[in-house]
Structure 1
C-alpha cells in the first residue's frame, strides 16, 4: 500500500508543536482561522492554506495573522498573549489589509514587497504591537510567497536566520532591519536557490535549522 504524501514542504524537517487548546482560549473568535489543524502539529502548508483562503477573500487578515503567529510562536508560552496584543492593535483588520494589499496579486513584485514591509514597520501606517520584523516577515512570507515563481520571494528574517547569514547577504544590523536589508537578503537567497535548483524558502529553512553550507 502506498504511503500518503508528506505534508512537509521541501526542506521542512518537521512540524511545529502548537498547544491548540491554549490558543483557542486566548484568541478572539473572529480571529480563529477556519480549517486550522485541531491537533498539535502544524506544518507550513497548513498556514499557506489559510493564506490562500485570504487571497480568495475567504479568510480575514486577522485570521491569517493568527495562523502565522500560532505557527511562528509554536509552543512558546507567551505566544498567545503577544498575538492578542497584536490583534488588539487592529480590531477591524484594516491596518493589516492595507499592509498586505499588494501581495494579493498572482506575482507580487519587488515594489509590492518593499511597500508591505515598510507599512508593517511604520507606526503611522500598519505597524502593530508586539509585531516586529522577526514576526511580520513570517506574515509576508505566507501572504506573498509563490512557489515556482522566479525572482525575489518574501522570506522570513528573524534573529536565528540573521545569525547564520553570510556578510554578502547584505543584512548589517542585528535587528530592526530596514526594507532594503530585507530585499538584499531576498536577492541573495534567490541567487542561492537558482544556483542550487531549489526554492528560495529552502534556503531560509536550511539557515534556520543550521543546515546551510
Structure 2
C-alpha cells in the first residue's frame, strides 16, 4: 500500500449508524473457563469467568511489561478474547506455548516493552521479525493490540489494531487492497496508514476504525447495525482434539475397567489426529 484511499462509503455509513446509536461498545466475548482449564495453567487465565471485553484485556496487558509470567497471562487473555466460546481455542493456544517453550514469555514481554517505549509499529515489527510457530498475524495482532492499547496515552492515542481475516476480506471488498495474512511490516504499516488517516477524518482512533470494520457486516434487512461474523476459520484438527478429550472424560465416568479397555483405542485415535 502506497497511497491511502479515501474513506470507503461503507465505513462512513457504519460510522454514522454507530454515532446515531450513541456509540455502543462492542459486546464482551464469552468464554468457557472449564474448557480453557483443560489446556492452560489456571494461573494464566483471567479472573473473569463469564466474559471479557476490550477494556478488560487491555487492563491485563498493562502488566505485560512486569515479567514473563505477566506477559504470558496477557497473551492468554488476548487469545481468550479472540477465540471466545470456540472449543479449541485453548488447545491452539497451548500448542503455540508448548512449541515456543521459554521463548514465548520472553518475546511477549519484549513486545510489550517495545510497545511502551517505541510505539505500535515497532511493537508489530518486534513480533514479526521472529514469529512463533502456529501464531499467525490474525491472532498475534490481538496480543500486540492490547499491549499498545494499554500505553496509547504515550503515543498520541495510536495503537496497533487487529488485522484478521474479517478485516482483510473487508479491505479487499471495499478498497481493492489485498493483504496476504502473513507477517509483513510493509502490509501492516500500510494498513495502519489507512486506519489512522480514516480515523483522523472521522474523529475516532484507529482501533475504533478497525472495530467498526469488523462489526460492519450489515444484515440483509438493514434493521441491525451490524452482525459480527466468525473471527477465525474452522480448525478440524483442533475440534477433533477437543472432542477426543471430552470423550475420554465421559468414558472415565463409566469406571476404571471401561476406561482401561478404551485406553488403547483412545491412544490410537489421538495419534491419528496429531499425525494429521
The Cα shift of 1:151 comes to 6.9
Contact 2:157 2:205 in 1 (8 A): no
Instruction: Identify the structure with bigger relative contact order (alpha carbons < 8 Å, sequence gap 6+).
Output: 2
List per-residue Cα deviations over 1:7-60 (Å, max 9, x = no partner).
xxx663311110122112320244334xx312x221111111111122355952
Structure 2 residue aligned with 1:6: none
Structure 2 residue aligned with 1:4: none
Which 4+ stretches in 1 moved above 6 angstroms? 167-170
CA–CA distance in structure 2, aligned partners of residues 156 and 55 of structure 1: 20
CA–CA distance in structure 2, aligned partners of residues 164 and 98 of structure 1: 31
Structure 1 residue aligned with 2:36: 23
Q: 2:160 aligns with which of 154, 171, 184?
A: 154
List per-residue Cα deviations over 1:179-204 (Å, max 9, x = no partner).
11111111110111111111211111
Q: How does 1:84-123 map to 2 (within 5 A)?
A: 84-92=94-102, 93-105=105-117, 108=119, 110=121, 112-119=122-129, 122=130
> Is residue 132 from structure 1 mapped to residue 136 from structure 2 by the alignment?
yes
Contact 1:90 1:96 in 2 (8 A): no
CA–CA distance in structure 2, aligned partners of residues 73 and 109 of structure 1: 23
Contact 2:111 2:123 in 1 (8 A): no
Q: CA RMSD in A?
A: 2.7
CA–CA distance in structure 2, aligned partners of residues 95 and 170 of structure 1: 34
TM-score, structure 1 as length reference = 0.78
For structure 1, list consecutive stretches of 5 or more residues without a partner in the other structure.
1-9
Structure 2 vs 1, CA of residues 96 and 109 (structure 1 numbering), >3 Å: closer, same or farther? closer
> Is residue 70 from structure 1 mapped to residue 80 from structure 2 by the alignment?
yes
CA–CA distance in structure 2, aligned partners of residues 49 and 151 of structure 1: 16
CA–CA distance in structure 2, aligned partners of residues 109 and 16 of structure 1: 24
Structure 2 vs 1, CA of residues 47 and 88 (structure 1 numbering), >3 Å: closer, same or farther? same
List per-residue Cα deviations over 1:81-130 (Å, max 9, x = no partner).
0011111133331233344431133x6163x23422423xx3xxxx2232
The Cα shift of 1:166 comes to 5.6
The Cα shift of 1:178 comes to 1.1
- In structure 2, the residue corresponding to 1:26 is in which secondary structure? coil
For structure 2, list consecutive stretches of 5 or more residues without a partner in the other structure.
1-22, 219-276
TM-score, structure 2 as length reference = 0.61
Q: 2:27 aligns with which of 4, 7, 14?
A: 14
Larger C-alpha radius of gyration, 1 or 2? 2
CA–CA distance in structure 2, aligned partners of residues 29 and 66 of structure 1: 11
- In structure 2, the residue corresponding to 1:128 is in which secondary structure? coil
Structure 1 residue aligned with 2:62: 52
Structure 1 residue aligned with 2:256: none
